[in-house]
Amino acid sequence: MGLGEKSRASNKFDTLFGKGVLAGKSQLVTQIAEDAGVDPTLFAAIIAHETGYGTSNAIQNYNNPAGIMDPKTKWTKLKKFDSLESGLEYSAKNLRRRIDQVGGDFEKLGRVYAPLGAENDPTNLNANWSSGVSKIYNSLGATEIPLENFSSENTQLVR
CA dist., res. 67 & res. 15, Å (int)? 21
- What's phi and psi for 158, nearest 5 deg? -130, 135
Q: How far apart are the first and last CA of the chain?
A: 20
- Return the pLDDT at 151: 43
Percent share of the chain, pLDDT over 70: 82
- Return the pLDDT at 9: 57
pLDDT band (50, 70, 90) for residue 154? very low
Asked whether the predicted pLDDT for residue 156 surpasses 90, the reply is: no
Q: What is the pLDDT of residues 10-37, one digit of tens each?
A: 678 888 888 899 999 999 999 999 999 9
Beta bridge partners of residue 158, listed in sequence order: 38
pTM of the model: 0.83
In b/e form, how buried is each residue of 104-124, taking b as 16+ CB within 10 angstroms? Answer: bbbeebbeebbeeeeeebeee
Q: What CATH code is carried by the domain that includes residue 41?
A: 1.10.530.10
User: Which structural domain, as residue segments, surrounds residue 58?
Assistant: 8-139
CA dist., res. 38 & res. 36, Å (int)? 6
Within a domain: residue 35?
A: yes
Asked whether the predicted pLDDT for residue 147 surpasses 60, the reply is: no
Total number of domains constituting the chain: 1
Beta bridge partners of residue 69, listed in sequence order: 78
Within a domain: residue 155?
A: no
Q: What is the pLDDT of residues 104-145, one digit of tens each?
A: 888 899 999 888 988 887 788 888 899 999 999 988 877 656
Classified as helix, coil or strand, 94 is helix
